[in-house]
A and B are shown apart, each in its own frame.
Chain A
Amino acid sequence: MLKAGVVQVMARGTDVAFVIDEEASFDVVSAELREYLANQNGLFSKGDITVNVGQRMLARDELAQVKSIIETHSGLKVTRFWCSPESLSSGDFRIEAKAAPTDTTSASPDSSKNLIHNEISLPLPRTKVGSLPSVESIIEDLKVRQNKNGARNRNRTEALFIKSTFRSGESVQHPGDVVVLADVNPGAEIQADGDIVVFGSLKGWAHAGASGDTKAVIIALELAATRIQIAKYPGIAPTSLPRKPKSSDAGTKIAYVRSRSIHVAAFAGRFARYNKGVPYDG
């Protein structure tokens, strides 16, 4: 399906991104991309897409060509080109990347917005997004190939950022930390091998340390989930809590594993020592 991995497809949040290999020549890339999209006819029927050009230096018309290939062979709309941070040091690329959206009729009027620094710079092959089931098979395929290639993402160092409200029915599985810059609503599911940090209200199901790491934690500005899990230890919010929240219930909370059960305490730092936590045992 994906020959030699010249074009990779990944999902990030609810976005799908095509990641183009950095070494292959432009002609190979465009041919592969065209063929891939033709084969997947109808799979990507509607939606927005970002293109990561890696460290490649593409001319303005080459970017326009990539955009037109994607848009004519699928129903997707290219909203943004972006690149690995390292390539930003090369001045040429910066100019090209900024210039590109203006002649490709990008939706955003502010062309500087089309160049996003420090987004995730490497593909995250194990990341699965539940609301896009059609992508999962591709991700699964990538995962198999990645493992053959010597598992370059084993060290879960990269965080997944979710930047909009994570809603009921949406789910994500990620090999590293997950940071949500919004609320996690009831019915949403997050599974991370690392920590889960929610800058908002956590009401959905969060499972940190999903691959067995009992040192993983869940941090939320408001921990309102009725059920959370760290490694194999499930935690259920105390049911005896009064309906009207007390002032001591407010504030950032951290959930951690202590003597084989989940405890929740007021947040005092990721690696602070926590003694007096409330057991989350229903």
Chain B
Amino acid sequence: MTGRTIVITSGKGGVGKTTATANIGTGLAMRGHKVVVVDTDIGLRNLDVIMGLENRIVYDLVNVIEGECKLNQAMIRDKHAYDLYLIPAAQTRDKNSIEPEQLREMCAELEKEFAYVLIDCPAGIEQGFKNATTAATEAIIVTTPEVSAIRDADRVIGLLESSGLHGPRLIINRISPALVKRGDMMDQQDVENLLSVEILGLVPADEHTVVAANRGVPVVHNTKSSAGAAFLRIAARVDGADIPLMDLEPRTSIISRIRDMVGKKGGAYSHA
């Protein structure tokens, strides 16, 4: 098997790289693929927490690279029965503990066994970014509809292209449909115009995402969550399925919808 190694990166921190990695990885595994997610945020590991696998860590990425353990000893199987594995980052080391070539070699080894190797990239554009992007052959950029996140995404796209990683695709995370509708938040078109890259998916802001992260169960497992559904569609697109982007409509309460209906009919509340 020759798998695909995809790096998930953003430049700016806190936009949802790790959440996206956990959810796309889970989504791909739910589609029946053998998937491994690699946390390269050495010193600030998070992916294990988001996936709820923190207490199963024995060996980590640096142990593998330094030859202290075998590759499959560091792989932690996901709690849910899917063919999903995690290689956690070391917490007590730093980004300079590994070289880009070493990570590339490891990913080449993983590609033989797995259909998808997802690399969770650290924030920033220093050594950790170089490690993660050198190892990958495809890139997914995560951004939020904020000028600072988009500025950093723009920089990262430029860096990826100059290092030969062409055609990165974009996930716009944490979109608030209500704000977009009011014109107080950039919409998909604005972001697309500025960054001029293909959009892989739109993820609405959703409280379920936060709850899921705290519980250590990726939000794709929650069938009620709009963000979970969005990540499932993104996983399908990564997998090559042709699914159109969803329009994100503001979710309104039943009461306000009834009020709207009554208002339109010119009812008693219209002047209230």
Contact = CB atoms under 8 A, between A and B. Distances in A.
State whether these chains interact.
Answer: yes
B164 A46 contact: yes
A77 B196 CA distance: 25
Given A47-B162, A167-B158, A170-B158, A182 B196 contact: yes
Interface in A118-159: 131-132
Nearest to A165: B196
Contacts of B159: 131, 169
A182 B151 CA distance: 17
Given A167-B154, A167-B157, A168-B151, A185 B194 contact: yes
Contacts of B161: 14, 164
B158 A46 contact: no
A46 B163 contact: yes
A189 interface: no
A169 B156 CA distance: 9
Interface in A7-58: 14, 46-48
A23 B228 CA distance: 64
Interface in A160-191: 164-165, 167-170, 182-183, 185-187
A10 to B, nearest CB: 16
Contacts of B195: 165, 185
B154 A185 contact: yes
A14 B154 contact: no
B93 interface: no
A131 B156 CA distance: 11
Q: Which of B134, B155, B159, B195 has the most CB of A within 10 A?
A: B155
B134, B152, B158, B163: which has the most chain A beta carbons within 10 Å? B158
A46 B158 CA distance: 15
Given A46-B163, A187-B151, A169 B158 contact: yes
Contacts of B163: 46-47
- Residue from B134, B151, B159, B162 having most chain A Cβ neighbours under 10 A: B162
Contacts of B157: 167
A14 B163 CA distance: 9
Contact of B164 (A48, A132, A203): A48
Interface residues of A, number: 20
Contacts of A14: 158, 161-162
Contacts of A186: 151, 154
A95 B91 CA distance: 59
B164 A168 contact: no
Contacts of B194: 183, 185, 203
A133 to B, nearest CB: 11
A101 to B, nearest CB: 19
Contacts of B154: 167-169, 185-187
B12 to A, nearest CB: 12
Interface in A180-226: 182-183, 185-187, 201, 203
A222 B93 CA distance: 48
Nearest to A75: B164
B155 A169 contact: yes
Nearest to B197: A165
Nearest to B153: A168
Contact of A47 (B134, B164, B193, B196): B164
A14 B161 CA distance: 9
Contacts of A132: 162
Nearest to B157: A167
A201 B193 CA distance: 10
B192 to A, nearest CB: 12
A131 B162 contact: yes
Q: Which of A14, A46, A47, A167 has the most CB of B within 10 A?
A: A167
Given A131-B162, A165-B196, A182-B196, 16 more contacts: A14-B161, A46-B134, A46-B164, A131-B158, A167-B155, A167-B157, A167-B158, A169-B154, A169-B158, A170-B158, A183-B194, A185-B154, A187-B151, A187-B154, A187-B155, A203-B194
